[in-house]
Amino acid sequence: MDYMSFKKSRIKTNDSSQKAESANDSIRKTAEKYAQKNDPDLLREILQVANNGKKDGSLSEEKLRQFVTSVSPMLNDEQRARLNSVVEMINKN
């Protein structure tokens, strides 16, 4: 491998690392923001974001189903029930 090839591969690796760190920072900041909210405020915001997503096409029933499928295994029974309740509210609106 010559120096230029090595340098290009390092730049790509660094870009990927920076994107991953940026995504992690974004997730952390979002989690911190929502951790400060009480249940009614959090639910209100979730429903508002979901309704906006339905209107602009960024949230579909399929995407919601995929989210539930991916998150459910990480939840306990109580959390899973709450998630299903929220999903039902989203689908009704």
Does 23 share its domain with 42? no
Domain match, 2 and 30 both? yes
Q: Does residue 78 share a domain with residue 43?
A: yes
Q: Which pair of tokens denotes residue 55?
A: 């209107």
Domain range enclosing 66: 38-93
Domains contained in the chain, number: 2
Using only the alpha carbons of the chain, give its radius of gyration: 19
Judge if 51 and 9 occupy the same domain. no
**pTM, to two decimals:** 0.61
Alpha-carbon distances of 33 from 2, 8, 57, rounded to whole Å: 47, 37, 25
Q: What is the pLDDT of residue 52?
A: 92
Residues 20 and 55 in one domain: no
pLDDT reading at 85 higher than 70: yes
* 25-80 pLDDT tens trace: 777 787 787 778 888 988 898 899 999 999 999 989 899 999 899 989 998 999 99
**Max Cα-Cα span within the chain:** 60
